[in-house]
Amino acid sequence: MTLSVAVTGATGRMGRTVLDVARERGVDVAFAVNRDGDGQHVEGVPVRPAGEFAALLDSEAPDAVVDFTGPESTVEYARACAETGVPLVTGTTGFSEADVAALEEASTETPILVGANFSRGVQALLDAVESAVTDLPEYDVELMETHHNGKRDAPSGTAKILLDRIEGAREGASERVHGREGEAPRDEGEIGVHARRAGDITGEHDVLLAGNHESLELTHRAGSRSVFAEGALDAAAWLAEQSADYYRFETIASQL
């Protein structure tokens, strides 16, 4: 059966990429919306105003919604999905605790899947970093991430997941130091965090471990946003068959 999806943020960087990859893969796009939908077309798909989202969910009944927008918009879309029972896959990052609570509430009525990064390579990076931090308990750890100049949240959602893995694997690693300035000697247990924003860089994450006169770097670089779009569409196909709950991509990626 052909997967049918709705796409939000259709004129944004990721929205356009999702529509492009959907066309290449033969995925049916039930409809696409954007905050400033004005009748323009993206990849041959007409873009409707976001205000019509709830009504379109009801009339078009897609198998799932793929969302890459912003926290406020995602929460609104999730609530509409909950009312109609349509699953939602979102790659939005930068959620507040209240936003997460709202998504979890929506997930009691329909499946909600959150992914800070839909790349298979990043999932492998998470496992590799956890293993390295465990095997090198005395080594200093620094994390640097780089994204395009339009990314809003810092550090990235992927960086936060990496930091969670590092802290979970190393007892005493509990202080995240964001950048350094002036006199700033390194403290035991510190994890340095550095965010860069420049040009049109898709996404880079680098974890450095150093000690005992050696260093180890684990790096992931995304060459195209299509990597994330493909993962999100794979997740949408999987989520369409699930019951209402709150899912995270990193915990289900191996099932795709």
Calculated CA dihedral for residues 118, 49, 241, 99, nearest 10 degrees: 60
- 192 annotated binding-site participant: no
Given the residues 41, 147, 160, 213, select the one marked as catalytic: 147
Sign of CA dihedral 246, 252, 253, 256: negative
What does DSSP say about strands 45-49 and 28-34: parallel, antiparallel, or unpaired?
A: parallel
- 108 annotated binding-site participant: no
Spatial distance between the Cα atoms of 114 and 202, rounded to a whole number of angstroms = 19
- 194 annotated binding-site participant: no
Cβ atoms of 153 and 94 within 8 Å: the answer is yes
Residues 196-217 as b/e (b if ≥16 CB within 10 A, e otherwise) read eeeeebbbbbbbbbeeeeeeee
Given the residues 41, 151, 160, 205, select the one marked as catalytic: 151
**What's the distance, CA 110 to chain centroid?**
19
- 148 annotated binding-site participant: yes
- 9 annotated binding-site participant: yes
Residue 138's CB is within 10 A of a number of other CB atoms, namely 9
- 10 annotated binding-site participant: yes
- 92 annotated binding-site participant: yes
- 157 annotated binding-site participant: yes
- 31 annotated binding-site participant: no
- 117 annotated binding-site participant: yes
Active site residue 147: yes
Active site residue 160: no
Binding-site entries for NAD(+)? 9-14, 91-93, 115-118
- Return binding residues: 9-14, 91-93, 115-118, 148, 157-158
User: Residues annotated as binding site for (S)-2,3,4,5-tetrahydrodipicolinate?
Assistant: 148, 157-158
Provide the annotated active-site residues. 147, 151
